[in-house]
A and B are shown apart, each in its own frame.
Chain A
Amino acid sequence: KAGVTQTPRYLIKTRGQQVTLSCSPISGHRSVSWYQQTPGQGLQFLFEYFSETQRNKGNFPGRFSGRQFSNSRSEMNVSTLELGDSALYLCASSLGTDSPLHFGNGTRLTVT
């Protein structure tokens, strides 16, 4: 069974631009969640989608948004990029509550 796939693996953007990251969950997984990982703040929860509905949201500004499609694939969008948005963005999928989360390899975003 294929794992969680995140594309692209690397991105370089300039301040003020916007970016879209993609995540394809493990087949059959309906929950997709996103995390931001930085050296200073560690791993922080961004949001979680289940069956196309956002179930939970972390403490991030409205510039961070996401969505989930009917095939469970998810996208995360960051608008008006700031230098502080440089991070590794990890996506995880699971069958739902009580099931372990499986992570992708992440997308490394660099904002210059």
Chain B
Amino acid sequence: AQTVTQSQPEMSVQEAETVTLSCTYDTSESDYYLFWYKQPPSRQMILVIRQEAYKQQNATENRFSVNFQKAAKSFSLKISDSQLGDAAMYFCAYITAQGGSEKLVFGKGTKLTVNP
């Protein structure tokens, strides 16, 4: 079974600085997707970024980028120029690329605090 591990329960960053959130995963599959979701106090899970395992190029969405190391099964999220609105719980998640299932496997989450 696939597992996702986030080793940092909490992180903090100063506004305008850069922070990296860590995620490792375990799978025997070769084709899959990885995600970072953000959950603010409003409770809604918001998709931050998505990475296809077959793509070597790291995904980027504005201030958010990932460092995807397939061999090491590592998928970290870098947030540049941190803003107060980035404060939230961040979840790393895995889903198989095999058809017939939309089952996300989540890590336990990292609570990010942004200090003004």
Binding site for B on A (CB under 8 A): 31, 33, 35, 42-43, 45, 48, 50, 55-56, 58, 88, 90, 92, 94, 96-98, 100-106, 108
| Interface of chain A, main secondary structure | strand
| Interface of chain B, main secondary structure | loop
**A101 in contact with B91 (CB, 8 Å):** no
Residues from chain B with Cβ under 8 Å of A90 in the complex: 43, 45
User: Size of chain B's interface in residues, with CB distance under 8 A?
Assistant: 23
**A103 in contact with B102 (CB, 8 Å):** no
Interface check B53, CB cutoff 8 A: no
**A88 in contact with B91 (CB, 8 Å):** no
Interface check B47, CB cutoff 8 A: yes
- Pick from B18-26, B72-80, B104-112 the stretch touching chain A: B104-112
Could you say which of B33, B91, B99 contacts A43, with CB atoms under 8 Å apart?
B91
Indicate whether A101 sits within 8 Å of B99 (C-beta atoms), given known contacts A42-B109, A43-B91, A92-B45: no
* Additional A-B contact list (17), CB under 8 Å, known A56-B101, A101-B102: A31-B102, A35-B104, A35-B106, A42-B107, A42-B108, A43-B104, A45-B105, A55-B100, A55-B102, A90-B45, A97-B102, A98-B33, A98-B97, A100-B50, A103-B37, A104-B44, A105-B43
How many angstroms from the CA of A97 to the CA of B44 in the assembled complex? 21
Binding site for A on B (CB under 8 A): 33, 35, 37, 42-47, 50, 91, 97, 99-109
Chain A minimum-CB-distance residue to B33 = A98
Chain B minimum-CB-distance residue to A107 = B43
Task: Provide 17 A-B residue pairs closer than 8 Å at the C-beta atoms, listed in order of the A residue.
Answer: A33-B103, A35-B104, A43-B91, A50-B102, A55-B100, A55-B101, A56-B100, A94-B102, A96-B102, A97-B102, A98-B97, A101-B47, A102-B47, A103-B44, A103-B45, A103-B46, A105-B42
How many angstroms from the CA of A98 to the CA of B101 in the assembled complex? 10
